[in-house]
Structure 1
Amino acid sequence: MTSARTRRQRLHELLLALMARQEELPLMDSEHPELEGGLAPGRWLDQNRRTLQRYQALVRTAVTLDALLDAEDSPPDFSSG
């Protein structure tokens, strides 16, 4: 496996592990709400925006954890002059 492929696989696994720890992970609502009896369009957009932000936070966390794992695998050499 190439280094890029290995990293992509590790990111994928980290993201899945983070998602599994979530109590509830909402899905995007693809149906545009009707004005009568449903969510108002503004509320529908806001709900989907919050859902997207939650997923983005999980991805950023996975990327950060991956970078930390990389740093542990190859610590910088500060001994040279």
Structure 2
Amino acid sequence: MADSSHSAERRRRIHDLVLGLLARQGELELLAGDGAGIGGGGGDPALWLERNRRVVQRYQALVRSAITLDALIDQEVGRHP
């Protein structure tokens, strides 16, 4: 049970870090479903799929950054209890 509690706490911390990183990004890009969004390419599926791929990669980078920050914080707290 302690592991699931620790896991839930870590997930919450990472979630908070992701939200903080997103807030610093300025404009929030959303995935396009049909190419009708800004820069959607006028309905060309190849263009909006490529755009969606780039958007997802940016979000993945934010999540990886949050995970790294959380691990660094955990490491520092462990060194200086």
* TM-score range for the pair, normalised by the shorter chain length: 0.7 to 0.9
1:13 aligns with 2:16: yes
Gaps of 5+ in 1: 76-81
RCO higher in structure (CA 8 A, sep ≥6): 1
Residue 45 of structure 1 corresponds to: 49
Which aligned segments of 4 or more residues in structure 1 are displaced greater than 4 angstroms?
none
1:69 aligns with 2:73: yes
Residue 22 of structure 1 corresponds to: 25
Aligned alpha-carbon RMSD (Å): 1.9
In structure 1, the residue corresponding to 2:67 is in which secondary structure?
helix
- Structure 2 Cα separation of the partners of residues 38 and 5 of structure 1: 42
Gaps of 5+ in 2: none
**Aligned residues with identical type, % of pairs:** 51
Code of the residue aligned with 1:65 in structure 2: it is L
Aligned residue-pair number: 72
Kindly provide the CA deviation profile for residues 16-55 of structure 1, in whole angstroms up to 9, marking residues without a partner as x: 000000011210012256xxx8142211111100100010
- Structure 2 Cα separation of the partners of residues 31 and 41 of structure 1: 7
Residue 55 of structure 1 corresponds to: 59
